[in-house]
Amino acid sequence: MAGPHPAVAAARVGVRRALAAHGLERCTVLVACSGGPDSLALAAAAAFELPRSGGVAGAVVVDHGLQEGSGEVAEAAADACCALGLAPVQVVAPTVQRGPGGPEEAARTARHEALAAAARSLGADAVLLGHTRDDQAEQVLLGLARGSGTRSLSGMPSARVLPGSPRVLLLRPLLGLAREETEAVCAELGLAPWQDPHNGDTRFTRVRARNALRHLEDTLGPGLPAALARSADLLRDDADALQEVADTAYRELGDPPWPVPALTDLHPAVRRRLWQRLATEHGSPSGALTGRHLRAVDDLLLRWHGQGPIDLPGGLRAHRAEGRMWLERAGTG
């Protein structure tokens, strides 16, 4: 008997490997499903794999409420998940609070909070996201455009802790698949994915990155998304190693303000990670913090001649005075 379509098999293998890598075969796992082709293909793969390994596959549909008719789209996605055999299925509608990081950052924050709440209420051990190799390539391209460092260029990790739920993992089982493969999964299984109109709206940076990637592929030749994704994989090990050194330095420095001599003794790559961590912990949106900001803070350390504080995204300022460095909210010093 013939096996499944190659794209269907690839999606199932991606889910199977992700579950096995983290010992989740017999656990409760939720698919974050928007109803689009990527998340719907993921939902179908999870619905196939989890019951066979002794686990439970459910779904959570996040209705951001940012488009007309979003409620109907969310209900249709939930119905599709139920038809695939996923249970429990929950629709959540978080409030998106606009902040300094822009609408995409605000929607991402609200989505993570909603996923964390759903995971807690449904007793899930992991949430699966439908990001593909093309999403990874776009992420790397955005990092290049921002002038970001190794961590940003290493793209999205295949696994991380869900913000707000330290005991719940976020997994991306489809990072090895191209977007056309998830579309092929939906076509093969007779699924009717929703096509998000925001995917063509160039007001969003990710849409512009997608368009730029297509242009670059037309110019440089096919295979660019896969090459960028491979670069991300190679850079991730380097970024992880540097982060371990920076985490050790962070613990040894203790709470800010930090003495200037202790900071100047550190490698610049380590210091940049210290500034990044300190800024994000004080509320600076990670997507808005660029290499230019980090270099400016480093210049305050190395080339100080009495100048005032450095402004950072999120209303933060980096200060140097009396041989020490620290960050604080603007207007609190």
- pLDDT tens per residue, range 17-64: 999 999 999 999 999 999 999 999 999 999 999 999 999 999 999 887
The C-alpha atoms of residue 253 and residue 295 are separated, in whole angstroms, by: 20
Which CATH number, 3.40.50.1110, 1.25.40.420, 3.20.190.10, 3.40.50.620, labels domain 6-220? 3.40.50.620
Reported as a single tens digit per residue, the pLDDT across 175-201 is 999 999 999 999 999 999 988 887 888
Rounded Cα–Cα distance for residues 95 and 72 (Å): 17
| Alpha carbons 315 and 78: distance in angstroms, whole number | 39
Write out the binding residues for ATP. 34-39
**What residues have CB less than 8 Å from 265, skipping those under 6 apart?**
none
Q: What is the mean pLDDT of residues 221-249?
A: 92
User: Strand 126-128 vs strand 28-32: parallel, antiparallel, or unpaired?
Assistant: parallel
Question: How many other C-beta atoms are found inside a 10 Å radius of the C-beta of residue 236?
Answer: 18
Strand 258-259: give its sheet, edge to edge.
258-259, 324-329, 316-321, 310-312
- The CATH architecture assigned to 254-329 reads 2-Layer Sandwich (3.30)
| Confidence at 10, pLDDT banded by 50, 70, 90 | very high
| pLDDT of 146 | 74
**Which residue spans of the chain are classified as CATH 3.40.50.620?**
6-220
Beta strands 165-171 and 89-92 are unpaired
The DSSP annotation for 119-154 comes to HHHHT-SEEE----HHHHHHHHHHHHHHT--HHHHT
Both tokens of 233, joined, read: 């994989």
For the chain, the helix, strand and coil percentages under 3-state DSSP, each to the nearest 5: 55, 15, 30
What residue numbers does the annotated binding site cover? 34-39
Q: Are 291 and 149 in contact (CB under 8 A)?
A: yes
Domain with CATH 3.30.465.60 in the chain: 254-329
What is the pLDDT averaged over residues 316-327?
A: 94
What is the rounded CA–CA span in Å between residue 267 and residue 275?
Answer: 13
Output the pLDDT for position 184.
98
